[in-house]
Amino acid sequence: MTQEHITRVGIVAKTGLVAAADHLHRLARWLRDRQRHVVFETETASLPGDTGGAPTYSRDALPAEVDLVVVMGGDGTLLSMATRTAHSGRDVPILGVNFGSLGFLTETRIDELYTVLESVLNGTAIFDERAMLAADAYRAREHFDSRIVLNDVVFTKAALSRIIELSVSVGSGLVMKVKADGLIIATATGSTAYNLAAGGPIIHPRADA
């Protein structure tokens, strides 16, 4: 993606992140100075006070309206926007700015924001592509849920169950049968999340696994 392709930039902050208010106002002004249109997520727009008349959209609708999403918060905020972006059907890059205590995905610090954004707008930034999981859930052969996720899909026992029996196959090949309290299917990106906490292996984000 090059400079001329990014004309509309969406800004999303963690819900209630008052600490980001001044940064949001400054970021919007910085983008307008570079002839970029600014679009705020609806709840985020209430944080800086004056949005300069920028249009607002819900988190679900925003990815369809912009060419780049800037997320200010922690990994949870980025993960939720990654899912919404996937559902939009558009290939929109996300820049994560860390306002949380831990950020594997929101790795850009606030003091690096404008240097990184400059490289994105001038076409010198390197975009890191990550695989996602699409999951459909069925109960008694009846479909009841669909998800697209960046981290993981978890099958777990019900509140009153002690254990469940699982048969795991890849394609038509049986991998294993196991009695356990659940199963985590993680992307390479998600290998450092719930998978790691459960003792699973860490996979490089670019691995096809």
3-state secondary structure of 196: helix
Radius of gyration of the chain (CA): 20
Place of tokens 């200010």: 72
Q: Are 38 and 50 in contact (CB under 8 A)?
A: no
Q: Which long-range contacts (CB under 8 A, 24 or more apart) does 200-207 make?
A: 205/128, 205/130
Active site residue 75: yes
Q: In the beta sheet, which residues pair with residue 183? A: 155
Phi, psi (5° rounding) for residue 12? -130, 130
Out of 22, 33, 75, 91, pick the active-site residue: 75
Q: What is the DSSP letter of 95?
A: E
Pair of tokens at residue 79: 């993960």
Pair of tokens at residue 49: 């006070």
Q: Which residues are catalytic?
A: 75
